[in-house]
Chains A and B, each alone.
Chain A
Amino acid sequence: MEKIDARPRVRVPRTAAPDEVVQIRTMATHPMENGHRLDRDGSTVPRHIIHRFTCTFNGETVIDMEVGPSVSANPFIEFDARVPESGTFAFAWHDDNGDVYEATADITVS
Chain B
Amino acid sequence: MELTRRRTLALGAAALTVTLLPIPASAAVDAQELVERYTGGVNPGEGPLQLTAPAVAENGSAVAIEVACPGARSIRILAPANPTPDVCAVHFGPLAGEERLSTRIRMADTMDLIALAEMDDGSFVQATARVSVTVGGCR
User: Using a CB–CB distance below 8 Å, which chain A residues touch chain B?
Assistant: 21-22, 34-38, 56-57, 60-73, 75-84
Q: Please, which residues of chain B bring their CB within 8 A of the CB of A34?
A: 83-84, 106, 138
User: Does B19 make an interface contact (CB < 8 A)?
Assistant: no
Q: SS class of chain A's interface: helix, strand, loop or mixed?
A: strand
Q: Please, which residues of chain A bring their CB within 8 A of the CB of B97?
A: 21-22, 79-82
Q: Report yes or no: B95 in contact with A82, Cβ–Cβ below 8 A.
A: yes
Q: Report yes or no: A36 in contact with B105, Cβ–Cβ below 8 A.
A: no
Q: State which of A35, A36, A72, A84 has its C-beta within 8 Å of the C-beta of B62.
A: A72
Q: Please, which residues of chain B bring their CB within 8 A of the CB of A66?
A: 86, 88-91
Q: Please, which residues of chain A bring their CB within 8 A of the CB of B100?
A: 79-80
Q: Please, which residues of chain A bring their CB within 8 A of the CB of B103?
A: 71-72, 75-78
9 additional A-B pairs beyond A72-B61, A78-B102, beta carbons within 8 Å, are A34-B84, A36-B83, A61-B95, A63-B91, A66-B89, A66-B91, A70-B106, A72-B63, A77-B103
- Interface size of B by CB at 8 A reads 32
Bound together, the chains give a CA A37 to CA B84 distance in angstroms of 12
Q: Report yes or no: B61 in contact with A73, Cβ–Cβ below 8 A.
A: yes
Q: Report yes or no: A64 in contact with B93, Cβ–Cβ below 8 A.
A: yes
Bound together, the chains give a CA A80 to CA B99 distance in angstroms of 7
Bound together, the chains give a CA A22 to CA B61 distance in angstroms of 29
Provide the B56-90 mask, 1 if CB < 8 A to any CB of A, else 0.
Answer: 00000111000000000000000100111111111
Chain B, Cβ-Cβ closest to A23? B97
- What's the least CB distance linking B133 to chain A, in Å? 13
Chain B, Cβ-Cβ closest to A70? B87
Q: Report yes or no: A80 in contact with B96, Cβ–Cβ below 8 A.
A: yes
Bound together, the chains give a CA A12 to CA B88 distance in angstroms of 23
- What's the least CB distance linking B139 to chain A, in Å? 6
Q: Report yes or no: A77 in contact with B101, Cβ–Cβ below 8 A.
A: yes
Q: Please, which residues of chain B bring their CB within 8 A of the CB of A21?
A: 97-98
User: Does B104 make an interface contact (CB < 8 A)?
Assistant: yes
Bound together, the chains give a CA A34 to CA B106 distance in angstroms of 10
